[in-house]
Amino acid sequence: MTGEAPVISGTSVVKLARGVRLRADAVRGQTVLLAPERAMALDDIAVRIVEALDGRRSLDRIAGDFAAEFGAPVEQIASDVQSFAHELAIRRMLEIVE
């Protein structure tokens, strides 16, 4: 009855849950992540991560792609991507695809 709490790891494949979406907020000149009763203003890096949560690539793969694009250490990026995904998951903002 209670279901299982999601566990986020490098092999997780996730996407935004239905009812959660990115929106350009032209009035305030920012990008916001909208969810029930929540509006989170995101910085450019967070926007890139959210856009990368495509329900096809694993978090490790996403981190690897960013590391190649920005020439940055993959370990640090993987840790940032996973902790950001974890924060979204505990707010019920993600659908865990696998």
Partner 1 sequence: MSDNLALAKQVDARISSVPPPMAMLAELTHRCPLACPYCSNPIALTRADEELSTAEWIGVFEQAAALGVLHLHLSGGEPAARRDLAELTQAAAAFGLYTNLITSGVGLTEARIGQLADAGLDHIQLSIQGVSAESADRIGGYGGGYGRKIAVAGWVAEAGIPLTLNAVCHRQNMGEIEAMIELAIRLKARRIEVATVQFHGWAERNKAALLPTRDQVELATRTVAAARQTYEGILVIDYVPADYYSTYPKACMGGWGRVGLNVTPSGRVLPCHAAETIPGLSFATVRASSLAEIWYESDAFNAYRGDAWMPDLCRSCERKKVDFGGCRCQAMTLAGDARATDPVCVRSPLRDRLTRETDRLSTLSSDTLIYRGR
Q: Which residues of the chain form contacts with partner 1 (CB under 8 A)? A: 1-6, 17-19, 21, 23, 25, 27-28, 32, 34, 36-37, 39, 89-92
CB of 12 to partner 1, least distance (A): 13
CA-wise closest residue to 68 among 56, 54, 52, 55:
52
CB of 30 to partner 1, least distance (A): 11
β-strand pairing of 13-16 with 54-58:
antiparallel
Dist CA 1 CA 8 (whole Å): 21
**Structural contact between residues 10 and 59, judged by C-beta atoms closer than 8 angstroms:** yes
CB of 63 to partner 1, least distance (A): 22
77 versus 93: smaller Cβ distance to partner 1: 93
